[in-house]
Structures are given as C-alpha cells and as structure tokens.
C-alpha cells in the first residue's frame, strides 16, 4: 500500500519526506569560531527509522536549519531539488522563531504538508498553530507510531496524539499511549546524517568526534517543578538492546565517542552495570560521556568505578541548589550530603566532572543563592564547565505557576523562555538584578572562567582524557565568546 496523508477530507500521496531540525545554534551559545555545537538530531533519526520501516517506499532526508545555515534561498533550492510531499519540523520552545522562519519558507515554496513535532508541540499545543500559521499538523509526544500511522492515511482528528487544522479550526485528539516496548524500536537512522559533518562541529562535550547519541531510557521518575517533562512514563531499554546499538555504531559507523542523553540513566543500577560489563567483555575501547542522565544521590562508588573502567570520561551532576529548602521547593529533593560525597569521589578519578547549578528560583533570596556557591566551595574541585545558570521558564512547566503564586508577572516568564545561556539575567522579585550579577561574578571568580587555577586544572584534565589543543581552544573560544589562538592566550583570558 502506498503512503498517503489524509487531511480535511483530502488524501495526498507521500513519496518524499523532508525532516528539518529547526534550531539556531548561534542564538544558543553564540558563534565566535567557524564551528558550533551540533548534536545529531536524534528525535528525527528515531522518527525516520520507524517511518521507513513501516513505509519503505518513502524517501527520507534529514537536515538541520543551521548546519549549514539554511537561508531562504538555500531552503528553496533544497525543496526544489528534493520535492518533498511532507516537511516535518522538530523544534523546542527556545527556537520558535526558527520554526516560524522554516514554515514560512516552506509555504512560500509550495503546498507540501507541514507537520510539527518535538518538545515545542507539548509546550504550545494549539497555540502553536497561531504562532506558526502555516502548520497543517502537529504530533504531541513520541512520534514513531503516530507519524507512521499518519503516513498510512489514518484520519488525523481521530488518531490519538495529533493536533490538526480542520475546517479553519484546530482540533486536538487525546494523547497517544506511550510506546511500552522501546527495545522494539529500530535504531536511529544514522545513515541519514553525515557523521563527518558533525565531527567538524563541536560535540555536546566540545570536541570534534564522530558522535553516537544514546537514549537508553525514556521519561523520569522525578518531578522537578522547573523541568519540562514531556514523557509521562519511565521506560528503560534492556542492557542487551543498548549494547547492540553501541556495537552497531562501533562496528558499522566507526563511532568511539558515545554521549548519554537520558533523563536518568542510573535509575536502575543493575541495568547500568550490565551495560558497562557488556562493553568490557566485548573489549571495546570507547569513550562514554554522561552529558546528562546521572542523578547524583543514586550514583554509587561502584557505579563510578565500573563506568570509568568501561570508558566513561565525562560525568555531569545536576545539583541546581545547595540548600535543602530550595531542593524541597523545586521538588528535586536531592540528598545534598550524598551528592557532595559522590562528586568528590568522581573528582578524584582522572575524568571530567561537571556540576550544574541554578539561581533565580521563585522566592529564592540572596542568602539562599549564596549558599549554592558556598556548597560548591566545599567540593575538592570546581565544575570543569562553568554551568551556573539563571533559571528559564518554558511553557508547560510547573514552576511557572509557582512563580505566579510568588507574585511574578506572567510576561516575565514568557520572555525568559527565549533567553539563551549568554543573555544577562533580569532579576526577580526576591533576587534583584545587581545581586544576580554579583553572584555570577563571584561564581566565575571562585569556580569559573575567571579563575586561572580552575582553568589550568580543567585544561590538564582535558589533556589527560585525550583532548587535542585545537579542541580545547575551540571549547574555550565558545565559552569565553572570543577567539583564543593558543594556550598562552587562554591563560591570559582567565585573568580578564
Ligand atoms: C540532548 C538535549 C540537548 C542537546 C541537543 C539538542 C537537541 N538536538 O535536542 C543540547 C545540549 C545541545 C541541548 C541544548 C538545549 N536544550 Co536540550 N535537551 C536534550 C535532551 C536531554 C534530549 C533530546 C533528545 O534527543 N531526546 C530524544 C528524542 C528521541 O526525543 P525528541 O527529540 O523529543 O523526539 C521525539 C518526539 O518529540 C517526536 N518528534 C520530534 N521531532 C518530530 C518531528 C515530527 C515531524 C514529528 C511528527 C514528531 C517529532 O518524535 C521523536 C521520537 O519519539 C532533552 C530532554 C529529553 N528527555 O528529550 C532536552 C530538551 C529538549 N532541551 C531543552 C532545552 C530547554 C534546551 C536549551 C534551550 C537549554 C538552554 N537554556 O540553553 C538548549 C537549546 C539548544 C538546542 N540546540 O537544542 C528542553 C526543551 C523544553 C521545551 N519546552 O522546549 C528539553 C525537553 C529539556 C527539559 N526537560 O527541559 N539539549
Ligand atoms: S530535572 Fe532531571 S530529575 Fe528532575 S524531573 Fe527533569 S529529568 Fe527528572
């Protein structure tokens, strides 16, 4: 049976599907060097793999709107050449303007059906159709099954998980049930991306490698109020399935660098250890980066030891606040003593340890925000990356209501969802702007980019785990937002 999408009573055959990751990396971290941070678009690679399995007759193509930058002219050329019947666009709330730009470009070109997906749909729901008037359809949550069903001609308004324009209005069906057997999903379609193109950019950990992105679980058991949890149920892939994917990427695509992007990889310690054992038994010499996915107070010394044995060189612990009151308020409820202990233990291994913290929570006072810095001061080393972020509010997060209850103006929340890491904080009713600046300056002087000893230590750690000089310079050029030519200049930059 050939593929077709039916909308508003009209059936359109589908032979070619263009999938676009709408992002603007320059807006995100700023562009100071010819390369940017780019991660293979995993959501679209999962989507294409499943849709292709169900509809082998369709040709799929995946592009990022900023790799290379798809100007209006370039986009039109790509559409002319590929002639897609459907254009699927993934984005997040932060990149709404980019989705608008791409949608307008597609509509100016022709009548291809425009389908949105990704966290932006969960965040905006029906409002997305006002913000992006060119949209025909949107898929809420997991896309694999729903998109394949749409391509099989299912009636959108009757299909769970869909929003669509119908008789001039937006119809929304109930949420689709989440996929239970995530082991049964095909591996992401790496053949649809150019791994060397990504290696010329910077990875999630600021090096130039062929990147394997691993999503070994979906969903999170916790309910931190600031977090945008777009998946409801927690589902873990088996260790066998995760290892089979690693093996496939290792042998077929010559990937040696694997980045774990789970919400919580170590929610089940036994499964995690089994994955490490399988890597060790196979004798694979690879590097694992926990760029996400470790809940600090669930992490044990045994976990760290076995992870390092299996090749882990990068650990990221999200602490957020160093006070128990804020931990309760944001419902992260991290055990700060256990966290301090495991961070110190991990820092004693020759690996990168990043500690992310935040400030600017509703009701947070200067002394509470200060205590987060003092907590960091109790650790043996500073975070390798300067990850002290001002809280941003994304539509759909519970903390938005907490802020409104604390007397914040709703417009202020909306504005922050478009802020990037580099935008300066605005201040909150309890943490005025000058106080925020003072905290940020203190952070950078004590732990961050303005502390020469911290920077020296960081560079030594990066060299020890195999970073080339060029990678280190590119990483700090992005972080310092100015081109750094050599390590001498890098040391000097720490003093400015
Ligand atoms: C890896 C990651 C990153 C990486 C890579 C970015 C990327 N390519 O996503 C980096 C470090 C660069 C990053 C940065 C940021 N991120 Co981020 N990131 C993630 C993370 C942890 C995993 C993303 C992922 O690959 N998921 C797995 C895939 C399979 O899921 P998916 O993309 O949602 O795709 C599925 C469905 O959405 C759907 N789908 C997706 N696209 C499409 C398209 C169509 C047509 C259809 C039909 C369906 C469909 O089907 C897919 C398969 O089921 C998520 C959290 C999470 N658990 O998802 C946060 C997340 C996406 N990030 C988020 C944010 C806020 C950011 C930043 C803005 C943070 C900041 N303030 O700077 C930056 C923005 C920069 C950027 N370029 O994205 C938020 C988005 C919130 C929102 N409401 O939009 C999330 C949800 C985290 C959170 N819980 O708050 N991020
Ligand atoms: S912040 Fe982390 S632990 Fe908290 S709900 Fe989000 S993914 Fe889960």
Q: What is the pLDDT of residues 411-467, one digit of tens each?
A: 888 888 778 777 778 899 999 999 999 999 999 999 988 899 999 999 999 999 999
Ligand 1 in reach of 23 Cβ (< 6 A): yes
Q: How far apart are CA 462 and CA 468, in angstroms?
A: 8
Cα 228-170-233 angle, rounded to 5 deg: 30
Q: DSSP labels for 8-69?
A: TTEEEE-SEEEEEE---HHHHH---SS--B----HHHHHHHHHHHHH-TTSEEEEEETBBTB
Ligand 1 centre and the CA of 91: distance in Å?
Answer: 8
Token pair recorded at residue 122: 């969960």
Token pair recorded at residue 240: 């066998």
Candidate from 222, 292, 397 with most ligand 2 atoms within 8 A of CB, to mutate:
222
Q: How many helices (H) and strands (E) does the chain have?
A: 20, 17
Query: Which H or E run includes 280?
Result: helix 269-282
Ligand 1 centre and the CA of 43: distance in Å?
Answer: 8
Q: How far apart are CA 223 and CA 339, in angstroms?
A: 18
Ligand nearest to the CA of 203: 1
Ligand 1 in reach of 245 Cβ (< 6 A): no
| Nearest atom (ligand 2) to Cα of 221 | 8
Ligand nearest to the CA of 298: 2
Ligand 1 in reach of 114 Cβ (< 6 A): no
Q: How far apart are CA 372 and CA 411, in angstroms?
A: 27
Candidate from 3, 143, 180 with most ligand 1 atoms within 8 A of CB, to mutate:
143
Q: How far apart are CA 487 and CA 81, in angstroms?
A: 45
Candidate from 216, 221, 226, 229 with most ligand 2 atoms within 8 A of CB, to mutate:
229
Q: Are 257 and 289 in contact (CB under 8 A)?
A: yes
Most distant CA pair in the chain, distance: 66
Closest alpha carbon to 188 in 236, 258, 249, 142: 249
Domains and CATH numbers, the chain: 4-162 (3.40.50.280), 199-208+223-236+259-268+282-448 (3.30.750.200)
Write out residues with Cβ below 6 Å of ligand 2. Answer: 220, 222-224, 227, 229, 263-264, 332
Ligand nearest to the CA of 391: 1
Ligand 1 in reach of 39 Cβ (< 6 A): yes
Which residue is closest in CA terms to ligand 1's atom 57?
Answer: 263
Ligand nearest to the CA of 218: 1
| Nearest atom (ligand 1) to Cα of 147 | 47
Q: How far apart are CA 194 and CA 206, in angstroms?
A: 18
CB atoms within 10 A of CB 311: 18
Q: Which residues contact 168 (CB under 8 A, 6 or more apart)?
A: none
Ligand 2 centre and the CA of 391: distance in Å?
Answer: 14
| Nearest atom (ligand 1) to Cα of 204 | 11
Q: Which residues contact 176 (CB under 8 A, 6 or more apart)?
A: 140, 141, 142, 145, 146, 159, 160, 161, 162
Candidate from 218, 223, 224 with most ligand 2 atoms within 8 A of CB, to mutate:
224
Ligand 1 in reach of 86 Cβ (< 6 A): no
| Nearest atom (ligand 1) to Cα of 392 | 71
Ligand 1 centre and the CA of 425: distance in Å?
Answer: 23
Which residue is closest in CA terms to ligand 1's atom 62?
Answer: 92
| Exposure class string for 224-249: b at 16+ Cβ within 10 A, else e | bbbbbebbeebebbebebbbebbeeb
Q: Are 224 and 332 in contact (CB under 8 A)?
A: yes
pLDDT tens-place values along the chain, 496 residues long? 689 999 888 899 999 999 999 999 887 776 677 788 999 999 999 999 999 999 999 999 999 999 989 999 999 999 999 999 999 999 999 999 999 999 999 999 999 999 999 999 999 999 999 999 999 999 999 999 999 999 999 999 999 999 999 888 999 999 999 999 999 999 999 999 999 999 999 999 999 999 999 999 999 999 999 998 778 899 999 999 999 999 999 999 999 999 999 999 999 999 999 999 999 999 999 999 999 889 999 999 999 999 999 999 999 999 999 999 999 999 999 999 999 999 999 999 989 999 999 999 999 999 999 999 999 999 999 999 999 999 999 888 999 999 999 999 988 888 887 787 777 788 999 999 999 999 999 999 999 888 999 999 999 999 999 999 999 999 999 888 888 888 788 877 666 5
Q: 168-207: per-residue pLDDT in tens?
A: 899 999 999 999 999 999 999 999 999 999 999 999 999 9
Ligand 1 in reach of 120 Cβ (< 6 A): yes
Which residue is closest in CA terms to ligand 1's atom 68?
Answer: 94
Cis ω before 68 (30° cut-off from 0): yes
Ligand nearest to the CA of 265: 2
Q: How far apart are CA 273 and CA 251, in angstroms?
A: 22
Ligand 1 in reach of 208 Cβ (< 6 A): no
């Amino acid at each position: 049976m050939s593929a077709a999408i039916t909308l508003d009573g009209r059936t359109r055959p589908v032979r070619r599907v263009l999938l676009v990751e709408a992002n603007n990396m320059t807006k995100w971290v700023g562009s100071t060097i010819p390369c940017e941070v780019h991660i293979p678009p995993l959501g679209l690679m999962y989507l294409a793999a499943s849709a292709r399995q169900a509809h082998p007759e369709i040709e799929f193509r995946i592009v990022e709107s900023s790799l290379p930058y798809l100007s209006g002219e370039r986009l039109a050329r790509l559409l002319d050449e590929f002639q897609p019947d459907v254009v699927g666009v993934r984005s997040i709330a932060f990149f709404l303007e980019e989705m608008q730009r791409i949608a307008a470009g597609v509509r100016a070109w022709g009548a291809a059906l425009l389908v949105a997906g990704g966290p932006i749909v969960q965040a905006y729901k029906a409002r997305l159709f006002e913000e992006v008037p060119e949209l025909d359809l949107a898929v809420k949550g997991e896309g694999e099954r729903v998109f394949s069903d749409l391509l099989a001609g299912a009636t959108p308004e009757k299909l769970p998980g869909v929003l669509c324009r119908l008789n001039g209005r937006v119809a929304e069906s109930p949420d689709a049930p989440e996929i239970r057997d995530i082991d049964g999903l095909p591996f992401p379609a790496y053949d649809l991306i150019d791994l060397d193109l990504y290696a010329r950019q910077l990875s999630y950990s600021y090096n130039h490698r062929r990147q394997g992105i691993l999503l070994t679980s979906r969903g999170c058991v916790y309910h931190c109020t600031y977090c945008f949890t777009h998946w409801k149920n927690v589902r873990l892939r088996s260790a066998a399935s995760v290892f089979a994917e690693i093996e496939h990427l290792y042998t077929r695509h010559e990937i040696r660098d694997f980045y774990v992007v789970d919400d919580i990889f170590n929610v089940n310690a036994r499964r995690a250890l089994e994955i490490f054992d399988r890597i060790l038994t196979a004798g694979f010499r690879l590097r694992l980066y926990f760029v996400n996915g470790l809940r600090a107070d669930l992490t044990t010394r045994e976990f760290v030891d076995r992870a390092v044995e299996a090749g882990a060189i990068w650990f990221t612990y999200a602490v957020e606040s160093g006070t128990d009151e804020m931990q309760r308020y944001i419902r992260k409820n991290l055990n700060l003593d256990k966290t301090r202990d495991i961070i110190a233990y991990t820092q004693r291994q020759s690996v990168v340890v990043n500690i992310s913290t935040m400030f600017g929570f509703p009701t947070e006072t200067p002394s509470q925000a200060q205590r987060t810095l003092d907590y960091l001061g109790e650790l043996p080393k500073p975070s390798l990356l300067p990850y002290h972020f001002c809280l941003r509010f994304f539509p759909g997060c519970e903390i938005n209501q907490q802020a409104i209850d604390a007397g914040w103006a709703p417009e202020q929340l909306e504005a922050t969802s478009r802020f990037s890491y580099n935008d300066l904080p605005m201040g909150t009713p309890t943490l005025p702007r000058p106080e925020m600046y003072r905290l940020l300056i203190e952070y950078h002087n004590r732990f961050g980019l303005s502390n020469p000893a911290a920077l020296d230590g960081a560079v030594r750690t990066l060299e020890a785990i195999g970073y080339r000089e060029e990678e280190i310079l590119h990483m700090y050029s992005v972080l310092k937002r100015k081109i750094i030519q050599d390590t001498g200049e890098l040391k000097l930059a720490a003093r400015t």
